[in-house]
Structure 1
């Protein structure tokens, strides 16, 4: 009988999943997803290899679980940060800052691009979670256009263009150079959507 982590079976399952997510995330900072095995993840998490299959049937399912978990947590944090911001330009600026500061960009992990490694079905599952983030941007733009803060434009075209800009570049890891790069990105996106850029920016 495996040892139960936490005070209940539910808590045990949650803590085990967290350990697996943390292990996969750490491994992906050093290696490509293509060379990581479930045995590697189990060893890094301190969990029996066969126990992993009680939670995820394969490596792709584990990756989707990790991305789902991180995306949902990120969107919750992003929504809380926007809750008290009424001005659409300030909302868009906050969205861009949050996206630009993200450390984890899965297709930039070491090794081959993840999109070339995942099955079409898994790519579709990952894409569903990208939509959660896009939904926030879509709402900001739609409300900004309605209020006159942004000029009329095709939101279906603008959303992927903005996110492509944010996901295709990396900012420095820290210090003044990082802050400057983030703020330059904010200014670029505001100008791209036709927002009024604050004086001095």
Structure 2
């Protein structure tokens, strides 16, 4: 019988998921989605194949579970960071920074490629996690417009344009020492694009 990690079966399952997700996160960054295999994840996480398949029957279920876990943590991180900024333009700048830093951390395929790699139901589950993030952006834009800091443009036009710009990997595919400079350039671009020339100093997060 496999050794139980923690004091209960539920703690064991969570500990295994944390271990597997840590390995997957590293492999996504180092190798990319296409090169990831369940056998490779299991070996690096110190799990037998049977134990791995008991938790994640296939690569698709692993990816969906990982994205759901990461998205939940990220949405909370995003809310805390944005709520900690009083100025609405500063909130938008913080939103852009976080989105790009997360993009730099993970090597998931872009939306179209991910859609083709997953079954429709699985892709819809992953896509659903973008809704709270989009909602946060909508709130920021509305707050800035109400304060007279941005033109009162249609958010249904602005939001897809901003999110498309922040999903472009070329922005963050730079040497590590150039990443912050690239992100700050993107912040200035988005602020100008939505109708303000204001910029904000980089805020540690």
- Give TM-score scaled by structure 1 length: 0.87
Query: Given that residues 93 and 191 in structure 2 are in contact (C-alpha distance below 8 angstroms), is that contact kept between their aligned partners in structure 1?
Result: yes
- State the distance in 1 between where 2:176 and 2:27 align: 22
What's 1:63 paired with? 63
The reply to whether residue 149 of structure 1 matches residue 145 of structure 2 is: no
- State the distance in 2 between where 1:198 and 1:134 align: 22
Gaps of 5+ in 1: none
Return the offset for 1:161: 0.9
Q: 1:184 to 1:30 in 2, by over 3 A?
A: closer
The reply to whether residue 54 of structure 1 matches residue 54 of structure 2 is: yes
What's 1:133 paired with? 133
Matches within 5 A, 1:76-155: 76-102=76-102, 103-107=105-109, 113-155=113-155
Alignment deviations for residues 28-63 of structure 1 (CA, whole Å, 9 cap, x no partner):
234343443322221121112111233223211110
Query: Given that residues 33 and 114 in structure 1 are in contact (C-alpha distance below 8 angstroms), is that contact kept between their aligned partners in structure 2?
Result: no
Query: Given that residues 149 and 196 in structure 1 are in contact (C-alpha distance below 8 angstroms), is that contact kept between their aligned partners in structure 2?
Result: no
Gaps of 5+ in 2: none
Q: 1:105 to 1:79 in 2, by over 3 A?
A: farther
- Tell me the matched-pair count: 197
The reply to whether residue 194 of structure 1 matches residue 195 of structure 2 is: yes
- State the distance in 2 between where 1:181 and 1:199 align: 14
What's 1:174 paired with? 176
- State the distance in 2 between where 1:153 and 1:127 align: 25
Query: Given that residues 97 and 187 in structure 2 are in contact (C-alpha distance below 8 angstroms), is that contact kept between their aligned partners in structure 1?
Result: yes
SS of residue in 2 equivalent to 1:47? coil
- Give TM-score scaled by structure 2 length: 0.86
Query: Given that residues 29 and 106 in structure 2 are in contact (C-alpha distance below 8 angstroms), is that contact kept between their aligned partners in structure 1?
Result: no
Bigger proportion of residues as helix: 2
Moved more, 97-106 or 15-24: 97-106
What's 1:16 paired with? 16
- State the distance in 2 between where 1:132 and 1:199 align: 24
